[in-house]
Amino acid sequence: MGKYNDEPYLRSEDLLRDGKYLGATLEIEDVLEGAPITRKLKPIQGLALKFKGRDKVLGLGATNEALCKTIFGDTRHQTWVGKSVTIAVRRVRGMRKGETQPAIRIIPPPGTEVRSGLARELGEAYTYPEPAK
């Protein structure tokens, strides 16, 4: 189990290509402890996922941490190392009422049972119109 050491964070804009958000399936190389994240507008020391072959880490907010626990069936984050997750940018609720913003979400595999409140926090997939012919 590693310690967070000022690694840069993976942001939604890092997944933009030609104006579209792309997803990725990545292998977890390490789960870093002590990453500065914000929960309910308060700074805390949380977890971050370091992915194999990537420089940037994904700080785990409450939703993505809960999704990892659900997907892997284990609350002990050290057991997540070596497993793969699919990430995608989703439109999620913002801090202000009615506001939405892009955020990286860990996407459960098809058939994964997710509690309803957590499923709502997955947000909406971005859709793109078909190019004119």
**Position with higher pLDDT, 61 vs 2:** 61
**pLDDT level of residue 58 (50, 70, 90 thresholds):** very high
Q: How far apart are CA 106 and CA 85, in angstroms?
A: 7
Average pLDDT value over all residues in the chain: 91
**Position with higher pLDDT, 12 vs 130:** 12
User: Domains of the chain: which residue ranges?
Assistant: 2-117
When mean pLDDT is compared across 44-48, 96-100, 127-131, the lowest value belongs to 127-131
Q: What is the pTM of this model?
A: 0.88
Q: Is the dihedral of CA 25, 72, 42, 5 positive or negative?
A: negative
